[in-house]
Chains A and B, each alone.
Chain A
Amino acid sequence: MSREDSYSIPLGPQHPALIEPEYLKVHLDGETIVDVDINIGFMHRGIEKALQQRTYMHDRFLIEKICGICSSIHTLSYCGAVEKLAEVDIPERAKYIRMIIAELERLHSHLLWVGIAGYEIGFDTVFQLAWRDREIVMNILEKISGNRVSYSMNTIGGVRRDISKSKAEELHKAIDKIDARIYHYIDVFTKDSTIIKRTRGTGILTEKDAKKYSIVGPTARGSGIFCDIRKDDTYLKYSTIDFNEITHKTLDIESRAVVRLKELLESTKIIRQCLNMMPKGNLSVKVPDIIPEGETIFHAEAPRGEILYYVRSDGTDKPYRVKIRTPTLANILSLKPMLKNQQLADMPIIVASIDPCFSCTDRVTLLDTKTGRTKTVDETYLKSLKRQ
């Protein structure tokens, strides 16, 4: 059936199946999805403009509020970019502490996803238990940083708090506890018949499609593509650490779930190594308020995929431009090939399988095509715009 003959229903901007406001227009043939239109831009908050009006240090606290789940990786990337511009090398100990917090964040983000996945397929026991286990990570993060969500650990020039010996011991214990639970969840997601019936064979994203749409993070690794910024373009001290890049080749939702869960075992491995390798020393170095003129990018591996920061300085104490590209903006396109020829009832879990974070994503306002006609923008059109 062609797209024109199909029956279309709007999903969103406010819809119980979607956690955050996004608009997906689904074209249906009976219960089967023929095509889907993705419209983003309902959570535009003007963060990038606000960043230009504050000083570098004040920006650091605003950036933390972009995403509630990955608040550490945002500040890590921003601070990394500003330090690159100021040509400052942060102390070794600070690098290891940054890595520990980033990996702890990955632990709680992926455990949250396990819960969401259980919830979306109607298996609330998984949801409740995964979130209970996530509390172990949240509590240890609160003990280290002083807050459950906004850790405020990274600052321009280093980190703000130390991980003392007693806290390191507690961290070791918490990770051991988490490890046992992760093995259990891997067992559940690969052997439980209820979960397998919903996840195996649904939401297929082929390697070719994933490459075509430039998918990043665990979504791409679930399609068998090796892409991890920690390995490809290593930052901080990841090059000195022994860990594996996890991929899985069944291409479906189960594949993405297994990638995420196995990645957690690697994360705990990284944390253990960091705690052992951490040298003694200073936590931060002083960075002047005025950052020299120049532009730079910094990318890092967020729990959901690659995050990219572009910072341009004009030689004042405020950035001239900060551009942020979050992993969901790259991954949201993968919904189109994933949803095609799937049942409508599978849609919530397929959308959730990319671990979307829409409040992260929306920093671009898109033009609304009210007439329903599609417009192809070619090179000559772009050039004519430039002339105006």
Chain B
Amino acid sequence: MKMLTDIIKNIIRKPATEKYPYKKEPVPEGFRGKQIYDKEKCTYCGLCAKACPVHTIGVIRDKKFWQLDLSKCIFCGRCEDVCPTKCLKMGNGYELASHKKENFVIK
């Protein structure tokens, strides 16, 4: 019967869950979400591509080409750690579902 007190308290307690699609909880500071890429600052050094454990970043230095495939990304934040110019940052975006493949690519 020890749980009974807890059960009675629950009648007046407000729900522990959020009504998710209507009310969104803000993500904490330092959250590892969808990357923010600053093309201006990038030097195309390729360190992020080398460090990425799932090889989702492609860099061609001569053509000034940089691309990240979010569908493969595991959001470990390793690219952010190694970036010398800090042009790549882990952002706050987490609702990444999409019907179009283009939406998974950051350029």
Interface residues of A (CB under 8 A from B): 54, 57-58, 60-62, 64-65, 123, 125-126, 129, 132, 135, 139, 142-143, 146-147, 150, 152, 160-161, 184, 187-188, 191-194
Do B32 and A125 touch across chains, with their CB atoms under 8 A apart? no
Q: Which of A126, A147, A150, A191 has the most CB of B within 10 A?
A: A147
Q: Is B21 an interface residue (CB 8 A)?
A: no
Cβ of B86 to closest chain A Cβ, rounded Å: 16
Q: Which of A135, A150, A161 has the most CB of B within 10 A?
A: A150
Q: A126-B3, A192-B2 are in contact. Are A150 and B31 (CB under 8 A)?
A: no
Do B53 and A62 touch across chains, with their CB atoms under 8 A apart? yes
Binary interface encoding of chain B residues 47-64 relative to chain A, with 1 for a CB under 8 A from any of its CBs, else 0: 000010110000000000
Q: Is B75 an interface residue (CB 8 A)?
A: yes
Cβ of B28 to closest chain A Cβ, rounded Å: 4
Bound CA span A187–B74, Å: 41
Bound CA span A187–B32, Å: 38
Question: Which 4 pairs of residues, A with B, have the shortest CB-CB distance?
Answer: A61-B53, A146-B32, A58-B53, A192-B2
Q: A54-B53, A125-B7 are in contact. Are A150 and B76 (CB under 8 A)?
A: yes
Do A147 and B53 touch across chains, with their CB atoms under 8 A apart? no
Say which size band chain B's interface belongs to.
Answer: 20 to 34
Q: Majority SS of interface residues in chain B?
A: loop
Q: A125-B7, A132-B16, A191-B2 are in contact. Are A160 and B81 (CB under 8 A)?
A: yes
Q: Is B39 an interface residue (CB 8 A)?
A: no
Q: Name the residue on B nearest A191 (C-beta).
A: B2
Contact pick for A125, options B6, B16, B30, B76, CB 8 Å: B6
Bound CA span A58–B16, Å: 38
Q: A142-B31, A150-B74, A150-B76 are in contact. Are A188 and B53 (CB under 8 A)?
A: no
Q: Name the residue on B nearest A194 (C-beta).
A: B3
State which residues 25-52 of B face A: CB under 8 Å.
Answer: 28-32, 51
Cβ of B100 to closest chain A Cβ, rounded Å: 26
Residues of B within 8 A of A135 (CB): 16
Cβ of B51 to closest chain A Cβ, rounded Å: 7
Q: Name the residue on B nearest A142 (C-beta).
A: B28
Do A152 and B76 touch across chains, with their CB atoms under 8 A apart? yes
Q: Which of A61, A123, A187, A193 has the most CB of B within 10 A?
A: A61
Could you list 22 A-B pairs, sorted by A, with CB under 8 Å?
A54-B53, A57-B78, A58-B53, A60-B53, A64-B76, A129-B6, A129-B10, A132-B16, A139-B28, A142-B28, A143-B29, A146-B30, A146-B31, A146-B77, A146-B90, A147-B31, A147-B32, A152-B32, A152-B76, A184-B6, A187-B2, A188-B2
State which residues 2-23 of B face A: CB under 8 Å.
Answer: 2-3, 6-7, 10, 16
Known A-B contacts: A61-B74, A150-B76, A193-B1. Give 18 more (CB < 8 A).
A57-B51, A57-B53, A58-B53, A61-B76, A61-B78, A123-B3, A135-B16, A142-B28, A142-B31, A143-B29, A143-B30, A146-B28, A147-B31, A147-B75, A150-B74, A152-B77, A160-B81, A187-B2
Bound CA span A143–B77, Å: 15
Q: Name the residue on A nearest B52 (C-beta).
A: A58
Residues of B within 8 A of A139 (CB): 28
Bound CA span A147–B30, Å: 9
Bound CA span A60–B77, Å: 13
Cβ of A164 to closest chain B Cβ, rounded Å: 10
Q: Which of B3, B7, B76 has the most CB of A within 10 A?
A: B3
Contact pick for B3, options A132, A160, A188, CB 8 Å: A188
Q: Name the residue on B nearest A54 (C-beta).
A: B53
Bound CA span A132–B17, Å: 9
State which residues 78-106 of B face A: CB under 8 Å.
Answer: 78, 81, 90
Residues of B within 8 A of A193 (CB): 1
Cβ of A87 to closest chain B Cβ, rounded Å: 24
Bound CA span A65–B54, Å: 12
Do B28 and A143 touch across chains, with their CB atoms under 8 A apart? yes
Cβ of B83 to closest chain A Cβ, rounded Å: 14
Q: A132-B16, A146-B30 are in contact. Are A192 and B76 (CB under 8 A)?
A: no
Q: Name the residue on A nearest B27 (C-beta).
A: A142
Residues of A within 8 A of B77 (CB): 146, 152, 160
